[in-house]
Structure 1
Amino acid sequence: MDPTEQINQLEADLLELGSLLEKAERKRVQEVLKQEQKKVEKELVVKRQQKEQQARREADPSAASKATYTVKITNYAWDQSEKFVKIYLTLKDVHQIPAENVEVNFTEGSFSVLVKNLDGKNHQMTVLNLLFPIDEKESCKKIKTDMVLVMCKKQAAKKWECLTKVEKQSKEKDKPNVDDNADPSDGLMTMLKKIYSEGDDEMKRTINKAWSESQEKKIRGEGMMDL
């Protein structure tokens, strides 16, 4: 099967998975479909890149012997409007190369960028698992001075708190678990117990002394500190 047919098959798989996901009601089934959808998206990105490389080799058989290598794009920023998520890729002199050397491919949940033969190198960036689905047909690129602007069209006018689902999961994992109804003194007690268990002998003596003094004050009615 040639690369074009493989890409067509993967695109058809992606469409059918999306249709099945919309109809699925069981959470477990939804998760399985989402995982398969991510796998197909990754494979589609790879096949598209392979097809591009094959086309370049066929167009210029000597290209394989040229000293062009690929580097990852790491210098970027992003923001958003009501309709678009905008990714700004800083690439010096990118506006001076042919526009067709800047290739951007979109799927519903990802995008990839390949800038060919800029300063003797290819520059590449792939972002998978976008936070929310995008409209791949309405998404586009714009080339500006020393910059490529990738414009991902939102399917829904939601505010994105980050670019990918992985970033969101990381933020939620790092977020402290705060119970608004918890007694503040419980948190203090937990902290003191932790300090006591991890502290050296001097720290333990200090805490024991503070505990004893606070209990004496409570008995005399002079303070309410309860460690």
Structure 2
Amino acid sequence: MDPTEQINQLEADLTELGSLLEKAQRNRVKDVLTQEIKKVEKELSAKKQQKEQLAKKDMNPSVASKVAYAVKITNYAWDQSDKFVKIYITLKDVHKIPSENVDVTFTDSSFSVLVKELDGKNHQMTILNMLHQINEKDCYKKIKTDMLLIMCKKQSTQKWEYLTKMEKQSKDKDKPKMDDNAEPSDGLMNMLKKIYDDGDDDMKRTINKAWSESQEKKVRGGAGDMMDF
């Protein structure tokens, strides 16, 4: 199978995995799908790099050894207005390379960035399953000093709490679950248990001390009630 066909297959796999993740209900299933998405993203990045290397080798075999290697973009931030979600990607000297070396593609729920031959490297980034849909035809990029700005046009003016659905699911999973029929004290105990389980040794000692003092007060209070009676 040629690299182009492999890339198409991997992109289709990512789309389907994203759809499955969106429908998944159980945390274990979500975790498995998330890990698989990361594996496919890594493989897709490698295949794109391989395709580019083959293309350059065909055009000029003498420069094949100079082909840049790919790195994943991790240094970015995002913000929003009523009309756009804005992704700020910090890339030193990106304004010094030809604009055609900066390629950004959009779908209605994702975007992919490929910055070629910057500081001897190809820089790649893919954001899948954005929290809400975007108007891909109205999305665009801006190249600024040491920065690439991705402008994603919202389909509606609603505020985004997260950039992707995966982030939202991850945050929701970390929130303490409250049972509407449970006693208020049960919810507090569950929250304290989570803090205890996730805390360091100092935090656990603090909680244990507070718990012991609370129990001692209950015992003393109970004894007093019996004596008064």
User: Scaled by the length of structure 2, what TM-score is found?
Assistant: 0.65
Structure 1 residue 134 and structure 2 residue 139: aligned? no
1:100–1:83 distance in 2 versus 1, CA, 3 Å? same
Question: 1:134 is paired with a residue of what secondary structure?
Answer: coil
Give the paired residue count: 199
User: Where does 1:88-167 land on structure 2 (aligned, <5 Å)?
Assistant: 88-167=88-167
Q: How many Å apart are 1:108 and its aligned residue? A: 1.8
Structure 1 residue 61 and structure 2 residue 76: aligned? no
1:159–1:63 distance in 2 versus 1, CA, 3 Å? farther
Give, in whole Å, the separation in 2 of the partners of 1:61 and 1:162.
45
Among residues 197, 213, 224, which one is paired with 2:220 in the alignment? 213
1:212–1:78 distance in 2 versus 1, CA, 3 Å? same
User: Could you tell me which amino acid in structure 2 is paired with residue 78 of structure 1?
Assistant: W
Question: 1:105 is paired with a residue of what secondary structure?
Answer: strand
Q: How many Å apart are 1:221 and its aligned residue? A: 6.5
Larger proportion of helix: 2
Q: How many Å apart are 1:175 and its aligned residue? A: 1.0
Give, in whole Å, the separation in 2 of the partners of 1:102 and 1:192.
49
1:188–1:141 distance in 2 versus 1, CA, 3 Å? closer
User: Could you tell me which amino acid in structure 2 is paired with residue 151 of structure 1?
Assistant: M
Question: 1:137 is paired with a residue of what secondary structure?
Answer: helix
CA-based RMSD: 4.3
Give, in whole Å, the separation in 2 of the partners of 1:6 and 1:207.
63
The answer (yes or no) to whether the contact 2:56–2:64 under 8 Å persists in 1 is no
Q: How many Å apart are 1:170 and its aligned residue? A: 0.7
The answer (yes or no) to whether the contact 2:179–2:187 under 8 Å persists in 1 is no
1:208–1:172 distance in 2 versus 1, CA, 3 Å? closer
Q: How many Å apart are 1:59 and its aligned residue? A: 3.7
1:86–1:50 distance in 2 versus 1, CA, 3 Å? farther
User: Could you tell me which amino acid in structure 1 is paired with residue 89 of structure 2?
Assistant: L
Gapped regions of structure 2 (runs ≥ 5): 25-32, 197-203
Q: How many Å apart are 1:143 and its aligned residue? A: 0.5
User: Could you tell me which amino acid in structure 1 is paired with residue 90 of structure 2?
Assistant: T
The answer (yes or no) to whether the contact 2:89–2:148 under 8 Å persists in 1 is yes
**CA shift digits 1:125-182 (9 cap, x unpaired):** 1111211122221111111111111111112222111111111001001112245785
Question: 2:139 is paired with a residue of what secondary structure?
Answer: strand
User: Scaled by the length of structure 1, what TM-score is found?
Assistant: 0.65
Identical pairs, percent:
61
User: Where does 1:20-35 land on structure 2 (aligned, <5 Å)?
Assistant: 31=23
Gapped regions of structure 1 (runs ≥ 5): 22-27, 223-227
Give, in whole Å, the separation in 2 of the partners of 1:139 and 1:188.
45
1:108–1:3 distance in 2 versus 1, CA, 3 Å? farther
